[in-house]
Chains A and B, each alone.
Chain A
Amino acid sequence: MQRYSGFGLVKHALSHHENWQRQWRNPTPKKEYDVIIIGGGGHGLATAYYLAKEHGITNVAVIEKGWLGGGNTARNTTIVRSNYLWDEAAALYEHSMKLWEGLSQDLNYNVMFSQRGVLNLGHTLQDMRDIQRRVNANRLNGIDSEVLDAKGVQALVPIMDCSKNARYPVMGASWQPRAGVARHDAVAWGFARGADARGVDILQQTEVTGFKILDGRVVGVHTNRGDIGAKTVGCVAAGNSGVLAKMAGFKLPLESHPLQALVSEPLKPILDTVVMSNHVHGYISQSDKGDLVIGAGIDGYLGYGQRGSYSTVEHTLQAIVEMFPIFSRVRMNRQWGGIVDTCPDACPILSATPVKGLFFNCGWGTGGFKATPGSGHVFAATLAKGQVHPLAAPFSIDRFHTGALVDEHGAAGVAH
């Protein structure tokens, strides 16, 4: 792997930047791998990277039906935070946060992780009580978190309408200073480059059409480029996880919904933090390019179409303009949707399955991006050892039969 550095940049400038090495190969599938990972998004590529780096397992293929990082990895609003209520979820997301903090160095790839802080607004007395409770829980778990009143919020974000005249006045917020945003494409590319350099085959344009299962144990997958054998298979397919589970002969408690986001025309720097509101339901940040990145809610119906309803966009923009009257004339540039696999308790599934050797990492729903390194890290350990990592143990599929749910609905900062 060609290491990136300031010196390298100068060196390549001499040859007009025409001789940069390709970041990853485009290999032909081998007959058999030790581990196959289905899904070449951030989580899948992170899994492959940590498998190679931490566990020395390099005979690995990442199978992606489209192009690398073209699904939800490239469709989210890039927010990274770890202020979750319950111990189980907080431990998992904080594990991820710690990996984020050294990720650019670790990958030798600038993922543009910017710890600009995240505000979760409260607009009602009950919101504020929930915020108090969540912040206390965070602090007990060693996660940086503070409660701010309306004045404190106004000081951080002078352009926001924190007056009493708003339809839903801002009463305060929780504030996580270590939270922030990262460049989502770079995350996928960085993990892909790191994994590829260690020998992982990234197979794009390869669609899994079925599983080869022998005596209740997975022995490979059928793809549109022929059958590929594997000792262990990990599925990290987000919205399409339910479709894969059906191929393997079982059901997951997931529902796939369209989740939309949109960006405005580029503006000069005006918003230097991330603002999320659960109550009026809108969240917004400004990218380094200058466009406002706005996240909408999910559409309530099932959908695999990677697009959603305009009414959802309208509701979101109503909320944004309510909070930021200054943005009322900003024009929106692009709007898109991704398919999120939502779980009944709004927590992921990291689990063994009824098929031996087949593991699922899914159900991240609307908030998977922030977990990318952590999810890959614990899932790699799970695949390498054939048993679920302790941090992932509470997120087994069994919880939907034992009743031990990790209910992060609403508690997680944004209600979806």
Chain B
Amino acid sequence: MFHIYCPYCEEHREEEEFHPKGQAHIQRPEDPEACSDETWGDYLFFRDNPRGVHHELWVHAVGCRKFFNITRHTVSYEILETYKMGEQPSVTAKSLSEKDKQAGVQAASGGWQTVGARPESDALNKGARV
């Protein structure tokens, strides 16, 4: 069960109030009429499906009903941050692996053994923006 921090309500609420809506930051092609079948098919059907850090769109369906973004690990399920629409994620797969290098942590494949032990992630889970 997720305990999700809604960046609009500014509080943690239970998972059942929310719905996942798939990958975040998908750009609609500027001119759909001029798209090739490849570009249009990619836009409609092909999604990132990472085993690791994933940026995704959620809606606070029975709360404020606003859409927002979550950065979440798809193996540990740890929520690394939540942020409003139009904002960019501060935690990415790249930034996490760089942190690991600095700390000298050897991440396992998928990195989930180490992710949960991060003190700063704990702070993120409590809703503080880093």
Cα–Cα, bound, A344→B43 (Å): 12
| B117 interface residue (CB < 8 Å to A) | no
Q: Which of A302, A309, A403 contacts B1 (CB 8 A)?
A: A309
- CB–CB A300/B20 < 8 A: yes
Known contacts A301-B72, A303-B77, A304-B74, A344 near B45 by CB under 8 Å: yes
Q: Which of B16, B22, B74 contacts A303 (CB 8 A)?
A: B74
From B22, B56, B74, B75, residue with most partner A Cβ within 10 Å: B74
Cα–Cα, bound, A254→B49 (Å): 7
| B62 interface residue (CB < 8 Å to A) | no
Cα–Cα, bound, A256→B51 (Å): 9
Contacts of A344 in B (CB 8 A): 44-45
Q: Which of A299, A302, A311, A401 contacts B49 (CB 8 A)?
A: A302
Q: Which of B2, B22, B46, B51 contacts A304 (CB 8 A)?
A: B51
Q: Which of B15, B51, B54, B76 contacts A311 (CB 8 A)?
A: B15
| B19 interface residue (CB < 8 Å to A) | yes
User: Which residues of chain B in 38-80 are interfacial with respect to chain A, using CB atoms and an 8 Å cutoff?
Assistant: 38, 40-42, 44-47, 49-51, 54, 56, 72, 74-77
Contacts of B42 in A (CB 8 A): 251, 401
Q: Which of A301, A311, A401 contacts B16 (CB 8 A)?
A: A311
Cα–Cα, bound, A251→B45 (Å): 10
B residues with a Cβ closer than 8 A to A are: 1-2, 15-16, 19-22, 37-38, 40-42, 44-47, 49-51, 54, 56, 72, 74-77, 110
Contacts of B44 in A (CB 8 A): 344, 400
30 contacts between A and B (CB under 8 A): A240-B51, A242-B49, A242-B51, A243-B51, A251-B42, A252-B46, A252-B49, A253-B45, A254-B49, A255-B22, A256-B49, A256-B74, A300-B20, A300-B21, A301-B20, A301-B56, A301-B72, A302-B49, A304-B51, A304-B110, A305-B74, A305-B75, A305-B76, A309-B2, A311-B15, A311-B16, A400-B46, A401-B38, A401-B40, A401-B42
A258 closest partner in B (C-beta): B77
Mask, A272-304, CB within 8 Å of B = 1, is 000000000000000000000000000111111
| A402 interface residue (CB < 8 Å to B) | yes
A residues with a Cβ closer than 8 A to B are: 240, 242-243, 251-256, 299-305, 309-311, 344, 400-403
CB distance from A333 to the nearest CB of B (A): 20
- CB–CB B41/A302 < 8 A: no
Known contacts A255-B22, A301-B72, A302-B54, A311 near B45 by CB under 8 Å: no
Contacts of B21 in A (CB 8 A): 300
